[in-house]
Structure 1
Amino acid sequence: MTAPPQPVEAAVAGRVAARALDLADAPKSGRPAYAIDWAGPVGLPLPDERAVQAACGIMHVHGRAAGRPAPLAVDYASAVAGVLAAQGALAVLIGRSRGLALDRVRTSVAQAALLSVTQYLAAATADDDPPEPLAPGECAWLTADGVHIELETLDPLQWQDFWRRLGAPPADVGRGWRPFQQRFGTAGCPLPASLHEAVARAPFRAVRHAAGEAGVSVLAVREDPFPPIGIRPWTLTPFPERAAERPSPATGAPLGGLRVIESTRRVQGPLAGHVLRMLGADVMRIEPPGGDPMRGIPPIAGTCSARFSALNVDKTVAEIDLTTEAGRREVHELVSEADVFLHNWAPGKAAQLRLDADDLRGARPGLVYAGASGWGDALGPTPPLGTDFLVQARSGLAAALRPADEVPVPSLMTLTDVLGGLVSAQGVLAALLTRIRTGHGGRVDSSLLSAAAVIPRRRRRVEWTPLDRPVRTADGYLALGPEARAHPERVARITGPGAAADLAASLLRFRLRPTGFWSPRLHEAGLTATPVCTDLRDLPRAPAFRGAIATAEHAYPLAPWEFS
């Protein structure tokens, strides 16, 4: 019997979830009930997206590059929560078909926010000495003819060659490589000023030519915030052959007893596997001989990189050289007993390794083969590097997540990597459900670009007042609620006589007293405000987060679903 519908507090999250379930062909008549509230197990009054971003670390991580907490001007946490709710509903349907008595699932925008800062939370709470430096610095490149650009390379020699062609000082080029590469993990990029100056001296055409000669990817930042039309989060192409056997009974969790083989790197692919593992699947990683190099990147928690551990905990490992015939045979053997094969290899690598869907599906009739990429097929057979910040730039997300008075550059928080992993896992769940219903496996394709399109956006960049940004207090920041942002005169009255005539002076008075002084006064005036997290290490120590965060060698968010 289908559970009665439950109210969805977060409207944006509810719309994202409903669309995701429609795309998965989940019949509305038998669709499980899902509840999405704002706070979930987090014991704080969190009435909206802005409050969640403030309390759960998103403002802090996004704002690191600027040296102060800053909101995202999109409902990012709500979009993540919508995807999580759809995943949970699909997991309920899969679990039911495998003998579990499940009716509904609950998640929250706060849990979604915590999941989105997983790697940053792990790094902040790793017992490493010295602690990781987190200096501010943005990659806001502006050419001589006024074009904002984003650039990417994973090769230090290409980096050197590019800057040599632009005439940057070699010593500064060398100093800039490490913060540039680490920006994916630190969310800051303190580069020598001379590198920005070198770009500023050259027109976009010359910068693009230098990049092409050096092998560096350069894209102009798209200033239209609205997402491209017609991009599906994921696509499923069924295989013609049927699975050899009926679905096995579940053991405990919805995916209990199912086996996933993944060959993934960085954030997008490992997070997809992490989601499937949290839903009960047995996940095995394929790593090169000697292990994934990311295991050794500081900060270290125990004997492993905290960021790597956060997304790969409890996965088993097989070290295989995929470039050899013996290695490929071993992959075929593993896949022959698996339900899912997952990778986020670079374009063309699957075919080069002879491990594409057509190569592996014969080893396991009914296999779900999932490939997560940067661009999908949107930019042709030879796209630029498919990394988070380039995708933010090209998709319009960079423009959407900042107000109109800020430069439209990507956030250095890995927004599309996280959503890309979640969308990939969502596609896998839809394919598993299809296999249960039809007996056919299939190929799931998703990308960072398709994930970016999941985030609802306006057609024009938003206009902000000073009250839309966190207000500085004597010991931190406060994110004002919607009533306060809409009524500056009520905020001004709280700070003292005469302040209503000058909003700037009123906001400066907040700096004279601590957050604990202002919060109750705002509350007494009927105005909500949320203290902004400015140190992720505070979250696992706070009683309010005990039901959402656990700690081992580092802190990590608990699974974001409650099934019943």
Structure 2
Amino acid sequence: MAFPTTTQTDRPLDALSFGTSGPPQITGVVARHLRLLGARPDEVDHTDPSGRITLSGGGFGPACATATWGNPAGGLVDEATVQAATGMMAVHGRRDGSPRGLAVDYAATATAVLTVQGLLAGLVGQARGAASSHLIAPADRAGLLAVSQYLAAAGADEGESAELAPGGPPFTSAEGVLFELETLDPEAWAAFWRALDAPADAVRAGWRPFQFRYATACAPFPEALHTVTRAHLLPRIRQAAADSGAEVCVLRTLAERALEADGSAPWSLRPLGGPASTSTRTAAAPSSAQPLAGLTVLEAGRRIQAPLSACLLGLLGAEIIRIEPPGGDPLRGMPPACSGISARWLALNRGKKAVEIDIKAEGDRRRLREMAAEADVFLHNWAPGKAAELGLDADDLASVNPALVYAYTSGWADRLQGAPMGTDFMVQARTGVGEAVRPEGEAPAPSLMTLLDVLGGLHGTEAVLAGLLLRERTGSGVRVDSSLLGAADTLTGPALRRVASGDDARRPAGFRHPLPTADGWIAPSDASAKAAASYDLRELSTSDALTRLGQRGLTATAVTTDLSTLHHDARFPGSISRDAHGAPAVPDPWSFA
């Protein structure tokens, strides 16, 4: 039986209240997002080591969640140990040649967003006739999700097509200014470097690692390119970019970002159209484990952000129909492959149906509008203005389906004037993430791990679920917007609050640096790090080093340096499987009971 619609509201959790307990790195983000969605805080307890969240009121049965770090027997007790075990330190450290911890609480932040997703999904399920459920969201699964594309590539039938070796942006100008360079066009790349008189062989050799840095998390292009930028002043570099069609973005500090941050929510929701039909909202009887069963999502996504958002909606039970260009998504052929299909593509798109649509052709656009008329969600991450140009914007599709949740996952959400291209590394550079991910004393550098593409994808799913719940409560379709900028602000929130209070924005020197052993690396927990650093473990095996620290009451875990070994890692028993193509598949990031 469908949940009855309520009086007008623009926030899906109005009339609900929540209580939280547990690690503030997780529950602090959960609480902020629940408040922004309209829920009222009831009780907060940071003494409970397990994150527990309860939502109630508004005519719903209680929605409960437990957020944990993972397997404590494997040493997974906090952010640092989760980063180490899941391979996040290994991927983030590829640019530097050895594992490095992220100085931001990335796993905790991702876990928090996934927890809110699960709570919203449970309420959508209740509104559609399912029983209330209990959600479990372990941080180690969030970490595995964050590295899922890199894990898939590590387990593919063939090797990487680009070298995995140290190196990468940012570049430095003659004044010592750090900046990111972005272009998706090899001709623009070549023209930029020609304008700066770079050696032709270095320009040719540099394109492929630069192009694949999103996939490999490193970019070992020739040192000559760094030498070239250090010989030119920033205005000359900017002019070369403008003339060639490339873009540069100077790395901003957290203090600079704090001055312009307005505290906006990481997504926005706007009612669309008229009342939703009863048949749309009661299309199927979902279960608590599959709260979106019977709903249809049309996804016109590129690269990571929108495809990941749709992938998670599919894991919650929705049917995902992927809109691909004639001939299919070219990324299906991106190496390395499993059974002839890109392992990375499978990590984001397995289980989806695909329909080829030429959005440049009026007949196909008409066909897409007809499909949208029967769908529950339309999700895309096209370039700004493209949907309106094609007659496929929110108001266009609301005219054929007033019940539609129209979701746009973008780079900037039109929130910053003069923003550069809205790609992961440019958003990291512009928002201070490059400074936040490295501790004090180290030069800022955006991570070459696709931090914001993944976290932006999680925010996109959260926004869609908020839109679906709002639709259930109001009876109207909804437009939802999320962005990489919103993801960056969520990730750097603690650092920006430290700036506002006059404290150091960055973490102290040496923060989350793994310790070398005779055969690998270990990562102590944040609480044990200072004491553990006083021991020289380089002549001990990893196993003996962990025993030594454990005997002294210190907690640590081994750092995963080869992602292909995660299949057999005792810290994740039975978690990682293989799909029908033989590609590694990470577990669902949450479970419902």
- Alignment TM class, shorter chain as reference: over 0.9
Task: Report how many aligned residue pairs link the two structures.
Answer: 544
Contiguous gaps of at least 5 residues in structure 2? 1-15, 41-54
Residue of structure 2 equivalent to 1:406: 442
Offset, 1:513:
1.9
After superposing the two structures, state which structure 1 stretch, 477-486 or 272-281, moved more: 477-486
Residue of structure 1 equivalent to 2:129: 99
Task: Determine if the alignment matches structure 1 residue 257 to structure 2 residue 259.
Answer: no
Residue of structure 2 equivalent to 1:54: 84
1:107–1:560: 8 Å Cα contact kept in structure 2? yes
> Do the aligned partners of residues 33 and 530 (structure 1) sit closer, same or farther apart at CA in structure 2, a change above 3 Å counting?
same
- Superposition pairs for residues 125-140 of structure 1, below 5 Å? 125-129=155-159, 133-140=163-170
Residue of structure 1 equivalent to 2:6: none
After superposing the two structures, state which structure 1 stretch, 358-367 or 479-488, moved more: 479-488
After superposing the two structures, state which structure 1 stretch, 456-465 or 51-60, moved more: 456-465
Query: Of the candidates 549, 556, 561, which is equivalent to residue 585 of structure 2?
Result: 556
Residue of structure 1 equivalent to 2:70: 39
1:30-63 per-residue CA deviation (whole Å, 9 max, x = no partner) reads 36221111006x8623111011001111101100
| 1:370 alignment partner AA | A
| 1:239 alignment partner AA | L
Offset, 1:208:
0.8
Offset, 1:518:
1.1
Task: Determine if the alignment matches structure 1 residue 391 to structure 2 residue 427.
Answer: yes
| 1:278 alignment partner AA | L
Task: Determine if the alignment matches structure 1 residue 472 to structure 2 residue 516.
Answer: yes
Separation in structure 2 between the aligned mates of residue 109 and residue 383 of structure 1, nearest angstrom = 33
> Do the aligned partners of residues 544 and 429 (structure 1) sit closer, same or farther apart at CA in structure 2, a change above 3 Å counting?
same
Task: Determine if the alignment matches structure 1 residue 283 to structure 2 residue 309.
Answer: no
Separation in structure 1 between the aligned mates of residue 578 and residue 505 of structure 2, nearest angstrom = 39
Separation in structure 2 between the aligned mates of residue 518 and residue 110 of structure 1, nearest angstrom = 22
Q: Secondary structure at the match of 1:454?
A: helix
> Do the aligned partners of residues 130 and 282 (structure 1) sit closer, same or farther apart at CA in structure 2, a change above 3 Å counting?
closer
Offset, 1:130:
7.0
Residue of structure 2 equivalent to 1:20: 33
Query: Of the candidates 222, 234, 240, which is equivalent to residue 267 of structure 2?
Result: 234
1:404–1:463: 8 Å Cα contact kept in structure 2? yes
- Superposition pairs for residues 187-202 of structure 1, below 5 Å? 187-202=217-232
1:319-374 per-residue CA deviation (whole Å, 9 max, x = no partner) reads 01000111101101111110000000011111121111111111212100001111
- Superposition pairs for residues 115-194 of structure 1, below 5 Å? 115-129=145-159, 133-194=163-224
Offset, 1:7:
6.8
- Superposition pairs for residues 523-562 of structure 1, below 5 Å? 523-552=550-579, 553-562=582-591
Separation in structure 2 between the aligned mates of residue 39 and residue 117 of structure 1, nearest angstrom = 16
> Do the aligned partners of residues 10 and 547 (structure 1) sit closer, same or farther apart at CA in structure 2, a change above 3 Å counting?
farther
Separation in structure 1 between the aligned mates of residue 161 and residue 338 of structure 2, nearest angstrom = 11
2:30–2:112: 8 Å Cα contact kept in structure 1? yes
Contiguous gaps of at least 5 residues in structure 1? 493-505
Separation in structure 2 between the aligned mates of residue 303 and residue 141 of structure 1, nearest angstrom = 36
Task: Determine if the alignment matches structure 1 residue 349 to structure 2 residue 377.
Answer: no
2:272–2:395: 8 Å Cα contact kept in structure 1? no
Separation in structure 2 between the aligned mates of residue 130 and residue 106 of structure 1, nearest angstrom = 35
Q: Secondary structure at the match of 1:352?
A: helix
Separation in structure 1 between the aligned mates of residue 154 and residue 377 of structure 2, nearest angstrom = 33
Offset, 1:547:
4.0
1:261-312 per-residue CA deviation (whole Å, 9 max, x = no partner) reads 0100000010000010011100000000100110101000112100011000
- Superposition pairs for residues 290-329 of structure 1, below 5 Å? 290-329=327-366
Separation in structure 2 between the aligned mates of residue 438 and residue 357 of structure 1, nearest angstrom = 18
1:162–1:216: 8 Å Cα contact kept in structure 2? yes
> Do the aligned partners of residues 43 and 332 (structure 1) sit closer, same or farther apart at CA in structure 2, a change above 3 Å counting?
farther
1:6–1:33: 8 Å Cα contact kept in structure 2? no
Percent sequence identity over matched residues? Answer: 45
1:467–1:480: 8 Å Cα contact kept in structure 2? no
Residue of structure 1 equivalent to 2:470: 434
Q: Secondary structure at the match of 1:32?
A: strand
2:75–2:556: 8 Å Cα contact kept in structure 1? no
1:101-147 per-residue CA deviation (whole Å, 9 max, x = no partner) reads 12321101111111111111111111225786411212131100111
After superposing the two structures, state which structure 1 stretch, 385-394 or 22-31, moved more: 22-31
Q: Secondary structure at the match of 1:453?
A: helix
Offset, 1:487:
3.0
> Do the aligned partners of residues 4 and 362 (structure 1) sit closer, same or farther apart at CA in structure 2, a change above 3 Å counting?
closer
Separation in structure 2 between the aligned mates of residue 542 and residue 437 of structure 1, nearest angstrom = 44
1:8–1:37: 8 Å Cα contact kept in structure 2? no
Query: Normalising to structure 1: TM-score of the pair?
Result: 0.93
Q: Secondary structure at the match of 2:242?
A: helix
2:75–2:555: 8 Å Cα contact kept in structure 1? no
Separation in structure 2 between the aligned mates of residue 141 and residue 259 of structure 1, nearest angstrom = 44
> Do the aligned partners of residues 43 and 344 (structure 1) sit closer, same or farther apart at CA in structure 2, a change above 3 Å counting?
farther
1:540–1:551: 8 Å Cα contact kept in structure 2? no
Offset, 1:214:
0.9
Residue of structure 1 equivalent to 2:44: none
Separation in structure 1 between the aligned mates of residue 330 and residue 24 of structure 2, nearest angstrom = 41
> Do the aligned partners of residues 388 and 361 (structure 1) sit closer, same or farther apart at CA in structure 2, a change above 3 Å counting?
same
1:388–1:448: 8 Å Cα contact kept in structure 2? yes
Residue of structure 1 equivalent to 2:50: none
1:133-176 per-residue CA deviation (whole Å, 9 max, x = no partner) reads 41121213110011110110000010011001111011110110
Separation in structure 2 between the aligned mates of residue 477 and residue 420 of structure 1, nearest angstrom = 30
Q: Secondary structure at the match of 2:263?
A: coil
Residue of structure 2 equivalent to 1:496: none
Query: Of the candidates 462, 472, 476, which is equivalent to residue 506 of structure 2?
Result: 462
Residue of structure 1 equivalent to 2:52: none
Residue of structure 1 equivalent to 2:456: 420
Query: Of the candidates 538, 543, 547, which is equivalent to residue 520 of structure 1?
Result: 547
Q: Secondary structure at the match of 2:449?
A: coil
Query: Normalising to structure 2: TM-score of the pair?
Result: 0.88
